[in-house]
Amino acid sequence: MTAAATDLKTTPLNALHLELGARMVPFAGYSMPVQYPAGLIAEHRHTRTAAGLFDVSHMGQLRLVGPAAAAAFETLIPVDVLGLGVGKQRYGLLLNEDGGILDDLMFFKESEDSLFVIVNGACKVADLAHIEARIGQRCQVLPLPDRGLLALQGPQAAAVLARLAPGTEQLVFMTGGNFRIAGAECFVTRSGYTGEDGFEISVPAGEAEALARQLLAQPEVAPIGLGARNSLRLEAGLCLYGNDLDTTTTPSEAGLNWAIQKVRRTGGARAGGFPGAGVVLAQIDDPSLLARKRVGLVATERVPVREPAPLENMDGQAVGQVTSGLLSPTVNQPIAMAYVRPDYAAPGTELFAIVRGKPVPMKVAATPFVPPRYFRG
């Protein structure tokens, strides 16, 4: 085993992954299952038709606690934190002073004095340091390294979880609560990263394997690796940090203005007051300031187009670059997300991805590529 391989961290489900025959790969500093013996396509389709269980314990979990927690957190993200109701979850963006995205995250209002936050695995150390340095004087910043995180996703996820934890079926998309599942005290939100209905379950690390085994014992549930997680999220038009978002990308470029509520925008009651606000609000107010925009692409030939394929126009001029791409198991065509010059961002625009030196014709398409099935009640 190489030194690099031995440096990888493991999740609480590592032994179970190996027992299930997973192929393990390095991801965000962890040894993670990319696929199981059934393979990526079968795992993808199982999640779309039944229920898939994902280990996402590499993600960072933390709590912000204190009477000023919500107000303090609102100074770091361009999102309405103070107005979020207790028991509800919202998507957020940590920004730098240039309006670039340090990370994207989910936060849940546990009470008026407490927020539960989930950040990306590869960013969690930097995120914690960033949050602690900026608002650690105003609230407690409590990392939760002793917790695992499981995602149960798919159209049969609600029926499965209700069997083990009655009451979870009453949650709607982006809400959550505390539930006892398989003997473990868990925190559950109705959310996920696949475009399907489903749940994310935070569980004490020592009880994660028993919970996973209980879920996998249900006839509808199969284990799903990172490969299918990636193809599912791309079909759902969801960004992957490090591919589709990074510190050079602004919310407007990424098509994420929907995540910035009116109260934080120009003219809103709590407009600005977050890092990069000048850049971010100017781009929302005047889209002509954008140098590039995120778009969806569908290839008209069955040639997989992967990142970082360059994009050219009819005249062979560079107009953008693919940031995520693969052959979609559901659409059965190559799909991608890319950043292109704004004058090439209209749906239906024809572009060419350069794959191994050859042009592959693609058309700009609306995302998501597969309609989401979130349960909104």
Which residues are 198's β-sheet partners? Answer: 153
Separation in Å, CA 52 to CA 15, 30, 180, 200, 226: 19, 21, 20, 12, 12
Residue 2 pLDDT: 44
**Exposed, middle or buried: residue 96 (CB in 10 Å: 0-12, 13-18, 19+)?**
middle
Tens of pLDDT, residues 360-373: 999 999 999 999 99
6: confidence class by pLDDT, cuts 50, 70, 90 = low
CA separation for the pair 177, 89 (Å, rounded)? 10
Asked if 341 and 291 touch (Cβ cutoff 8 Å), the reply is yes
3: confidence class by pLDDT, cuts 50, 70, 90 = very low
Asked if 197 and 158 touch (Cβ cutoff 8 Å), the reply is yes
From 5-9, 16-20, 148-152, 216-220, the region with the lowest mean pLDDT: 5-9
Closest CA to 345 of 328, 367, 330, 325: 367
| CATH class for the domain made up of 67-135+260-290 | alpha beta
DSSP symbols for 6-48: HT-B--TTHHHHHHTTPEEEEETTEEEEEE-TT-HHHHHHHHH
The answer as to CATH 3.40.50.150 being correct for domain 3-58+146-224 is: no
Residue 160 pLDDT: 98
Tens of pLDDT, residues 155-197: 999 999 999 999 999 999 999 999 999 999 999 999 999 999 9
Residue 246 pLDDT: 98
Sequence-ordered list of residues with C-beta below 8 angstroms from that of 238, at least 6 positions apart, any chain: 193, 195, 368
Residue 18 pLDDT: 98
CA separation for the pair 261, 91 (Å, rounded)? 11
Query: Coil, strand, or helix at residue 181?
Result: strand
Tens of pLDDT, residues 320-362: 999 999 999 999 999 999 999 999 999 999 999 999 999 999 9
CA separation for the pair 222, 299 (Å, rounded)? 31
Tens of pLDDT, residues 106-119: 999 999 999 999 99
- pLDDT, mean of residues 59-77: 98
Return the percentage of the chain with pLDDT > 90, whole number: 97
Return the percentage of the chain with pLDDT > 70, whole number: 98
Residue 369 pLDDT: 98
Tens of pLDDT, residues 237-254: 999 999 999 999 999 999
Count Cα atoms within 13 angstroms, Cβ side, for 180. Answer: 1
5: confidence class by pLDDT, cuts 50, 70, 90 = low
Asked if 313 and 319 touch (Cβ cutoff 8 Å), the reply is yes
Domain extent listing, the chain: 3-58+146-224, 67-135+260-290
> With the C-alpha atoms ordered 190, 330, 251, 288, is the resulting torsion angle positive or negative?
negative
pLDDT of 64 above 80: yes
Q: DSSP E strands: which ranges in the chain?
A: 23-27, 30-35, 51-55, 60-65, 89-95, 101-111, 114-119, 140-143, 147-153, 176-181, 184-189, 198-204, 221-223, 293-299, 310-312, 318-327, 334-340, 350-355, 358-365
Asked if 194 and 236 touch (Cβ cutoff 8 Å), the reply is yes
Rounded to the nearest integer, the mean pLDDT of the chain is: 97
Phi, psi of 21 (to 5 degrees): 85, 25
Q: Residues, the chain, total? A: 377
DSSP symbols for 87-110: TBEEEEEEE-TTS-EEEEEEEEEE
Residue 366 pLDDT: 97
Asked if 134 and 76 touch (Cβ cutoff 8 Å), the reply is yes
Closest CA to 77 of 50, 55, 106: 106
